[in-house]
Amino acid sequence: MPQVSLVVPTYREAENLEALCDSVEVNLRKRKISYEIIIADDHSPDNTIGVVASLTARYPVRLIQPLNRQRDLSLAVLDGIREAKSEFVVVMDADLSHPTEKIPALVSTLREGVFVLGSRYADGASFEKGWGLWRFLNSSIATVLAWPLIQCKDPMSGFFGLCKTDLPSAESLHPIGYKIALELMVKGNFDAVIEIPIHFKDRTRGKSKLNLKQQVKYLRHLRRLYLFKFRLQAEIVQYGLVGASGFLVDISFYLVMQAFSIDHLLARAISFWPAVSWNWGLNRLVTFSGRRRRPKAKQWLEFVVTSAIGFSINWGVYSWSTSNIDFFSDNRLAALILGIFFASIFNFMSATFLIYSNVRGQNKLL
């Protein structure tokens, strides 16, 4: 059995594979570390199959190309880890951006319950100076967005190691895009995350797969992880943002009707409907998207009714406080905010436990 299994996810990386295998061989054999290389390929339309076949005579390398799933780097990594023969697994890119000379340091640090990262931002780490301002900002912002999820300096790293037995269950993993290490750190039950400083190099061959589509996938992945780790807080924030966007829809319709000289009371009554429909749809699509779906018409009607009750609470609190409390009679804006606060609590509780409730969806399925 090899001491370490190296998992290398690939898509159109055939031209880098021989150089990668050469570098791994040099740096591991001299340290007397036995290894295997698993090329987890997403059915590349290049000569990956032929290249790997030619390399098997010189190196302990094998190719896997799983069927019946979408092309996704994170899923390729998971496929490779599950195929690993060694208990110790190291994941790295094929483009030689990750230094193979650091693999022994990752392996020597690995033990059960420990997740090891090859870090670009740990003390002593570095990266090539050819990065432009946009690339640096892109990496920095993405890193900052992930910090609340996991306490380490480089949660975006794709160079990492773990014990195969520490891999979270397949049912709990729902990665999307290219940041599988972040998924594993957040959902795995690790005692520690240890960062090993590396020098990160730019690729010299082939084309980077990072594009706008991958960046959108990363944001979607972040949202999933925030919901996993901070479900209630994340839902409250999303619900609030949806409500704010609904307010803009409400105001926009109201102002448009005013521009056409429609009576302000009628305009106010009409603008409620597109706003409440917008909020219902966006909450169904975004805030509570992970919950079971229920019939749209019935759910929409429930949302309208509870929103109307919420508006009544808002108005009632405003009316009572301005009529009975001197402070609020002198500070009506504060009374309005107080009304919005109580109405928002009612609306969120109604949405969580009634309109988008998982329990009601499950009961319907039973």
Return the pLDDT at 294.
82
Whether residue 278 is found in the same domain as residue 155? no
Q: What strand order describes the sheet that includes 192-197?
A: 61-64, 35-41, 4-10, 88-91, 160-163, 114-119, 192-197
Where does the pLDDT of residue 194 fall: very low under 50, low under 70, confident under 90, or very high at 90 and above?
Answer: very high
Return the pLDDT at 129.
65
Whether residue 77 is found in the same domain as residue 207? yes
Please name the residues in contact with 277: beta carbons below 8 A apart, sequence gap of 6 or more.
300
Whether residue 24 is found in the same domain as residue 169? yes
Whether residue 221 is found in the same domain as residue 268? no
Return the pLDDT at 161.
97
Q: How many CB atoms lie within 10 A of CB 47?
A: 14
Whether residue 132 is found in the same domain as residue 181? yes
Whether residue 168 is found in the same domain as residue 312? no
Return the pLDDT at 133.
67
Tell me which residue range forms the domain holding 360. Answer: 232-365
Flag whether pLDDT at 36 surpasses 90: yes
Return the pLDDT at 206.
64
Last residue of a domain, one of 207, 229, 251: 229
Give the residue carrying structure tokens 């001197």.
Answer: 326
CA distance 37 to 223: 33
At residue 140, φ and ψ (nearest 5 deg) are -65, -45
Return the pLDDT at 313.
92
Last residue of a domain, one of 172, 195, 229: 229
Total structural domains within the chain: 2
The tokens for 139 are: 């990496």
Q: Helix or strand or coil: residue 294? A: coil
Cα 32–34–40 angle (5° rounding)? Answer: 140
| Residue of 177 and 274 predicted with greater confidence | 274
The tokens for 17 are: 């594979």
CA distance 318 to 299: 28
The tokens for 192 are: 């520690």
Last residue of a domain, one of 206, 229, 252: 229
* Residue range 181-199: mean pLDDT, rounded: 94
Residues facing residue 173 across a β-bridge: none
Whether residue 177 is found in the same domain as residue 56? yes
H or E stretch covering 40:
strand 35-41
Whether residue 15 is found in the same domain as residue 32? yes
Pick the most confident of 52-56, 93-97, 203-207, 359-363: 52-56
Whether residue 288 is found in the same domain as residue 331? yes
Whether residue 165 is found in the same domain as residue 245? no
- What CATH number did the domain enclosing 185 receive? 3.90.550.10
Please name the residues in contact with 128: beta carbons below 8 A apart, sequence gap of 6 or more.
200, 201, 202
The tokens for 42 are: 């997403």
- DSSP designation for 98: S
Tell me the percentage of the chain whose pLDDT exceeds 70.
94
Return the pLDDT at 363.
40
Whether residue 270 is found in the same domain as residue 237? yes
Return the pLDDT at 162.
96
* Residue range 108-119: mean pLDDT, rounded: 95
Whether residue 271 is found in the same domain as residue 207? no
Q: What average pLDDT does the structure give for the chain?
A: 88
User: In 189-209, which positions are buried (b, 16+ CB within 10 angstroms) versus exposed (e)?
Assistant: ebeebbbbbbbbeeeeebeee
Please name the residues in contact with 149: beta carbons below 8 A apart, sequence gap of 6 or more.
155, 182, 185, 186, 222, 225, 226, 229
